[in-house]
Amino acid sequence: MPVLPHINTPEDLKRFSLPALQELCDELRAFLIDHVSANGGHFSSSLGVVELTVALHYVFNMPADKLVWDVGHQAYPHKLLTGRRERFHTNRLLGGISGFPSMEESEYDAFGTGHSSTSISAILGMASAAKYRGDDTRQHIAVIGDGAMTAGMAFEALNNAGHERPNMLVILNDNDMSIDANTGALQNYLTGLTTDRHYNALKARVKKLLSFNGQQDKWPVEMVRKLEKIVKAGLLHYSNLFEALNIRYFGPVDGHDLKTLMSVLERLKHIPGPKLLHCITEKGKGFAPAMTDKAKWHATGTFDKTTGIRVANATTAMQPVTFQEVFGNTLAELAKKNERIMAVTPAMLSGSALTRMKKEMPERVFDVGITEQHAVTFSAGLAADGLLPFCTIYSTFLQRAYDQLIHDVALQQLNVVFCIDRAGVVGADGPTHHGAFDIAFLRCVPGIIAASPMDLADFRHLLYTAQAGIVSGPFAIRYPRGAGYGTLAGDFEQLPIGTGRKIKEGKDIAILSLGPVGQYAVAACEELEQEGLQIAHYDLRFFKPLDEVLLHEVFQQYTTVITIEDGCIAGGVGSTVMEFMVAHDYHATFKRLGLPDTFATQGTQQELHHLYGYDKEAIVTLIRKLSSNNKHNSKIVSNGMLQHS
């Protein structure tokens, strides 16, 4: 009899035997494979933590006990066991459940996640709150991967936990991966912990000794602790890093051995203070293609669950060239001609398409791990010594390194090129991953040059311009996830800094666009022209510095101005243009299109552009209204969410 249909809350797990729970693990994997193959989503990470998830919910008492999943892309089994199985078909869809833990969505999600390395700090805060209230019974568990453990924030929290010493358990989910293979000294250390032959030989002998005649529980506690210390420190050839931080270390244990996990977790539940359980898992467990190519299957679109062959998407087939592909190929091409170019990425080697350059010039590509702050200051160091780093970082993750961008790069006017990937709405990953704020937080930084290409050809030209030797300080280029527009033929062109371009002449109304959403303006102008409306369109290209010659032309010729951007309206490029209008005493009816003052939800990029009112339909509707009203008085309006009747 299937078990999964009978699990609606974690409490239901406690009614089943170990063999039934092991069967449940198989059912969970089958469910995930069926669902993700049909709908896409994060995949291999969830397959790797099935047994761990079942064990946690069997041993502990969530939601009274608190469980935080770091990053959260591995939390699909957790969602299936906590009452969301029937809604799981809506995962990552507009109006559906989130692909990450969300406090708003379920009481079982003790803390919302999406960015890495936050779990230990959050669970430490909850454990400290319980300690303050005198509650020594509630359990606090953080599950963090070895990739996320490389970030400084994780160690800041461990250091603090060793000092505060509340009751908490950190589970180190060690699968030797983040998205791509992990890099750095910590990974070597963890590998050493699990593979040292002296450690493993003695561990086996001690286990045999303590298991003799099933009398291990009768051994004196002090003797067991002494043996534990010998194993952990004396024969490892390593000082135990976690023990040095005053965190009791346990493990490593097999993260796919459900019986052992349940037994170990039950014992750890009764040990006070901060503890760390080192758990070895395999990313992609149970699906052969994902076990073979872990990075490829971290997240996936639809695929044939029998063969593992990806299903072609008709939309992407029409536009096969992505901004990421153009970036990776262009940077490798430029680097062959410019020996100063270096590439830096915080654990997004494949996501940002740096694999070609890594293969061809491995000594010039630095994957620094999930360490955005370090990535920016490391890039500053390269620049200070005469090299030209292209620091490639997702917009949402650049938020984590804002101080370093200002203090270590901009203040010192160091020539770092920030390639800001996934700018604007990114789609199904939702509010934790949208690149909504970079225009607003970059335009106020003194001395920075910042641009966004409307098409792929302009993107190549901007990358070329950034390394052409005409810029001495920071240069930021923002670009979205996915397919671009235009052709790539022709030579590189050096673009004058701070210049835009006129796309189309018009009368009365002018559209000023920034970035690829300018393609919506092109389509809108074509449709409106069929109605006899001549709408001007300008591509700003740079949002710092602005093309003031272009703006003077616009405000001298047009009585109505519309700005469009794939980012937050508050402080965005529309605000910049409006400030220019006020400063030069121009008067015009002014409308800003972009993301309103809210955290954008999940959905496809096209769905979100429509929902928030800056796709072709929204532009056409607005211009028809403005044209019919024929207002000439000066008015400033900011849009909110598109209202549907």
Torsion over CA of 502, 506, 509 and 510, rounded to 10 degrees? 0
CA distance 420 to 398: 8
- Which one, of 521, 530, 540, lies nearest residue 620 by Cα? 521
DSSP letter assigned to residue 516: T
**589-595 and 560-568 beta bridge pairing:** parallel
CA distance 378 to 385: 11
Placement of tokens 């349940």 in the chain: 262
Count CB atoms within 10 A of the CB of residue 44.
30
Cis status of the peptide bond prior to 63, with omega within 30 of 0 = yes
CA distance 443 to 439: 6
3-class SS shares of the chain: helix, strand, coil, % to 5: 45, 15, 40
User: In residues, how long is the chain?
Assistant: 645
Per the DSSP assignment, residues forming a β-bridge with 165 are: none
**589-595 and 536-539 beta bridge pairing:** unpaired
What token pair was written down for 116? 């890495």
CA distance 439 to 451: 9
CA distance 315 to 482: 11
Cis status of the peptide bond prior to 545, with omega within 30 of 0 = yes
- Which one, of 170, 176, 149, lies nearest residue 280 by Cα? 176
Active site residues: 283, 372, 400
What token pair was written down for 321? 């060239």
Q: Give the ranges where 276-408 is alpha helix by DSSP (H).
A: 288-292, 314-318, 323-337, 355-360, 372-384, 395-398, 402-404
CA distance 436 to 603: 15
The alpha carbon of 546 is separated from its chain's Cα centroid by a whole number of angstroms, namely: 30
Which class for 537: exposed (0-12), middle (13-18), buried (19 or more C-beta within 10 A)?
Answer: buried
The amino acid at residue 398 is L
Number of H helices, E strands in the chain: 25, 20
Q: What are the φ/ψ torsions at residue 41 (nearest 5 degrees)?
A: 135, -175
Q: What are the φ/ψ torsions at residue 284 (nearest 5 degrees)?
A: 85, 10
